[in-house]
Amino acid sequence: MNASFLDYCDTDRQREILNAYIEHGGYTHASKVLGINIRTLQRAIKNIELKAARKGFSPAHDMTRTVPDGFQVKGVSTYYNKDGKPSGQWVKSKIDDELQEEFRRAAMEAMGAELPRLPSLVLSNLAPLNTDLCNVYTLTDSHVGMLAWHKEGGADWDLKIAERTLVECFERLVRASPDASTCVVAQLGDFLHYDSLSPVTPTSHHVLDADGRFSKMVKVAILILRKVIDFALHKHEKVIVLMAEGNHDLTSSVWLRYMFKALYEDEPRVEMIDSDLPYYTYRHGATMLAWHHGHLKKLDALPLLFAAQYPEVWGVTKKRYCHVGHRHHVEEKEHNGMTVIQHPTLAARDAYSSRHGWISDRQITSITYSAVHGQIARNTVTPEMIAS
């Protein structure tokens, strides 16, 4: 190993270890100089070698043609002549998904810095606001951009219908809910039906029924969410906003979070739940409110996960509730220490859901929580209520 491997060190400590290894000619002397266990040193050197090999650099194996940032080596085929010297080499590469995700996040953060900020809104609700209460408005699995046909799933769904249904149902729900001082707009994932220029799921690449182009879907999604947040700002003194990760919009949930954090940066009454981890929480007095889309953990595993992930919040609260979506139907169960509530969707059924026989009531729900007593009230709006 030589100084060429310094380019593949991620930290100053790794560079220090590699320099000591090169300078002192081996593990024994280098470990004594650094004051670390020889096995620790060996593991550190091995990790540097592996990082370099993933980029295509391993001179001991005649691999010297590296791939650019954002890619990793998929395979190397080396051809040798009769003298045993390399005479040709094929280097196959693939996208490094983890690094590409880092690039995307950095780009989205930079984009957010350039966005114009929205001016602060005036609280128009003249009713006395109850500081003990917090309304949680859950908007999950909206699948904006999906195309559904009533002859298959019982109702139509496209961009225009999605905009009208989501906006009008949410406005009606806000009006019907108590005059709480605080609210949470919990956009709980799968707000967008797909996550790229191609209408496929991000991980399995299943082909989806889509309405329109990706840019049209993004435009409508932003319009809906701005109206939803503004409705909440007109009624509540403090608005907590969550843009959760879903399995249909893994990447879009990131730019939605960065975008709306930037848009409402000058609005002191808006607070974003800013977390890269898809498990979210907010403490309302002695009540713990938690969220997860539902695509990564089973419902009965969530209480222990949140207790371990957020021990400080868990320890100072007496009432705890976790909200999930993903499965498009209602399910609620009290576990030891936490009640898990699975929310339905307002979206119609697409062909895939219809053919598999998945049927559920369409609705949106607000749950009102007391800072002392936990859940105290619920309100529900269905698409049929705005059609009448």
DSSP labels for 196-215? SSSSB-TTT--B--B-S-HH
Token readout for 369 is 């929580």
The C-alpha atoms of residue 384 and residue 187 are separated, in whole angstroms, by 22
Summarize the confidence of residues 14-39 as an average pLDDT. Answer: 88
> CB within 8 A of 97, min separation 6: which ones?
none
The burial of 75, by beta-carbon neighbours within 10 Å (0-12 exposed, 13-18 middle, 19 or more buried), is given as: exposed
> Mutual orientation of helices 27-34 and 38-54 as an angle, nearest 10°?
110
DSSP 96-157: -HHHHHHHHHHHHHHHHHHSPPPPPPP----SPPEEEEEEEEEE----BTB-B-HHHHSS-B
More confident residue, 216 or 81: 216
* 39-64: pLDDT as tens digits: 888 888 888 888 888 777 877 777 76
* 320-354: pLDDT as tens digits: 999 999 999 999 999 999 999 999 999 999 998 99
For residue 242, list its beta bridge partners: 186
User: Residue 297 — pLDDT band, cuts 50, 70, 90?
Assistant: very high
Domain spanning 97-387, CATH architecture: 4-Layer Sandwich (3.60)
The C-alpha atoms of residue 143 and residue 249 are separated, in whole angstroms, by 9
The residue length of the chain stands at 388
% pLDDT > 70, the chain? 89
How much is the pLDDT for 118?
Answer: 87
Strands (E), the chain: 71-80, 86-95, 130-139, 180-187, 238-243, 270-272, 280-284, 287-291, 319-324, 331-335, 338-342, 364-370, 374-381
CA distances from 12 to 15, 16, 21, 32, 98 (A): 5, 6, 14, 19, 22
More confident residue, 154 or 79: 154
> CB within 8 A of 262, min separation 6: which ones?
112, 113, 115, 117
* 130-149: pLDDT as tens digits: 999 999 999 999 999 999 99
Q: Where are the domains of the chain?
A: 1-54, 65-95, 97-387
More confident residue, 169 or 32: 169
Is residue 177 pLDDT above 90, yes or no?
yes
The burial of 332, by beta-carbon neighbours within 10 Å (0-12 exposed, 13-18 middle, 19 or more buried), is given as: exposed
HEC sequence for 328-351:
CCCEEEEECCEEEEECCCCCCCCH
The C-alpha atoms of residue 143 and residue 125 are separated, in whole angstroms, by 31
User: Tell me, what amino acid is at 287?
Assistant: T
